[in-house]
Amino acid sequence: MRQRPLVPQLLTTILLAVLASAMWAAWLGWDQQYDVHPDGSSTGPYEAWQVIGLVLTLLAPAYWAASRRDFAAAVLGITAGLTVAAFYDWSDDGSGLYVIGATLVMMGSLAATAAVSTAIAFLKQDRRDR
């Protein structure tokens, strides 16, 4: 298997990181208010549809990169973009727990993009074998 030059892979990784951060801002960055319920409990600041929208929107760039066999760029770029966006978005939290949250975003997005990229590669390879 022939390896691609490092510069295009690096540019793809940076492009995906910027795109993932921009999508975080578009889907989640504007909603900063917690919802307080009549019983005193609070939820938020994000609604489920916002997170689902972010995930579904990120499938397109993940598919694009994985179908080009840029697995590392897909996984590292999207993970880095989401992690940086979460860290920046939550960094005004005085308790310091935002670091744990950003770490969980990193681990979750790393696992999810790796699984999606692997599935895409498997499906693309299966089609090529036919």
Nearest CA among 113, 118, 92, 101 for reference residue 20: 113
| Rounded CA separation 79/109 (Å) | 5
pLDDT at 4: 64
| Annotated domain spans of the chain | 6-129
pLDDT at 82: 97
The set of residues, in sequence order, having a beta carbon less than 8 Å from that of 6 and lying 6+ positions away, is none
Residue 126 has pLDDT above 70, yes or no: no
pTM: 0.85
Segment among 34-48, 50-64, 95-109, 110-124 with least mean pLDDT: 34-48
- Model confidence at 35, pLDDT cuts 50, 70, 90, reads confident
Average pLDDT over residues 73-98: 92
Nearest CA among 5, 7, 119, 127 for reference residue 62: 119
pLDDT at 27: 95
Contact predicate 82/57, CB 8 Å: no
